[in-house]
């Protein structure tokens, strides 16, 4: 198992400039996904693409620890994740090689970036993981593109609001992370930075984020019995923003 770790104390402008030169979608032969972990390193949410890489459904991840899902990688990953929770410093372009689905014998080469998520008191309460896999020949391209999304997401200031219950706070943290990712993709697309991937040849990371966010919005609407204003407060976004996303994704508001 090989690891190459970069954990900068601060993201510098030259680093951002280099990252933003690259398009965000992953190359055709890459697999990618997003996961949210709480402070105990248990899965709060995971995208379909990453769940498939683990050989499980998204629902089978919820509440499980990193060690339970990827025991082969846990000895390397857990100390790094605990350090991120303790320090609040993101980690970019972590390179790992190993099995993901336990016993299949298939070795994955991964490029992972971790971004801390903040709670109501301004302390790290969880982690957003951006994961990509690529063949040897395209690994450096994937590293640059993971870093582009990760560094831009890390620039956004967390929105600290009133103290919420543990479950609602976890849901709110996921919403903030996904809203950040979706807005980054939209901004990149409008500026011409984002190119349209060939869906037949590879993965559309934009769709992964949208599907992830859609499930979260549906969950918030269910918890608030379809009340969009309450759902917007729960998700930490403006009512008009939520209304726009409901229309864009074709979500039933009831």
Is 3 part of a structural domain of the chain? no
Q: What's the structural domain count of the chain? A: 1
- pTM across the whole model: 0.53
- The rounded Cα 184 to chain-centroid distance in angstroms is 12
Q: Pairing between strand 31-38 and 108-118?
A: unpaired
Is 68 part of a structural domain of the chain? yes
Q: Which residue has the tokens 């689905």?
A: 101
Is 228 part of a structural domain of the chain? yes
**Cβ contact 33:142 at 8 Å:** no
Q: How many CA atoms lie within 13 A of 184 on its CB side?
A: 25
Question: What single string gives the DSSP state of each residue in 157-209?
Answer: PP---S---HHHHHHHHHHHHHHHHHHHHHHHHHTT-PPPP-TTTS--HHHHH
Is 7 part of a structural domain of the chain? no
Is 5 part of a structural domain of the chain? no
Whichever domain contains 186, its CATH number is 3.30.450.20
Is 6 part of a structural domain of the chain? no
DSSP state of 156: S
Q: What is the pLDDT along the chain (254 residues), one digit of tens a residue?
A: 433 333 333 333 332 233 333 323 333 334 667 888 888 999 988 888 788 888 888 889 989 999 999 888 888 899 999 999 999 888 877 777 766 665 656 677 777 888 888 766 778 888 888 887 765 545 555 555 555 555 555 554 444 333 334 444 444 445 455 555 445 445 544 554 434 444 344 444 556 667 777 888 888 888 888 899 888 887 777 888 888 888 888 888 77
């Amino acid at each position: 198992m090989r690891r190459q770790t970069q954990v900068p104390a601060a993201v510098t402008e030259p680093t951002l400039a280099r990252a933003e030169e690259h398009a965000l979608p992953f190359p055709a032969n890459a697999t990618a996904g997003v996961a949210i972990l709480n402070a105990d390193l248990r899965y709060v949410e995971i995208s379909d693409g990453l769940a498939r890489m683990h050989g499980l459904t998204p629902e089978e991840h919820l509440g499980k620890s990193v060690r339970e899902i990827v025991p082969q990688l846990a000895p390397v990953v857990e100390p790094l994740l605990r350090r991120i929770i303790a320090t609040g410093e993101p980690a970019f372009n972590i390179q790992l090689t190993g099995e993901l689905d336990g016993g299949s014998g298939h070795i994955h080469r991964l490029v992972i970036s971790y971004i801390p998520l903040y709670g109501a008191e301004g302390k790290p309460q969880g982690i957003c993981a951006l994961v990509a896999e690529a063949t040897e020949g395209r690994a450096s391209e994937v590293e640059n593109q993971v870093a582009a999304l990760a560094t831009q997401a890390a620039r956004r200031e967390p929105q600290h609001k009133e103290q919420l219950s543990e479950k609602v706070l976890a849901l709110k943290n996921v919403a903030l992370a996904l809203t950040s990712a979706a807005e980054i993709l939209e901004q990149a697309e409008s500026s011409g930075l984002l190119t349209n991937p060939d869906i037949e040849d590879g993965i559309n990371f934009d769709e992964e984020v949208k599907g992830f966010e859609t499930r979260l919005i549906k969950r918030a609407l269910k918890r608030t019995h379809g009340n969009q204003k309450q759902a917007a407060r729960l998700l930490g976004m403006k009512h008009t923003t939520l209304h726009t996303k409901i229309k864009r994704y074709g979500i039933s508001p009831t």
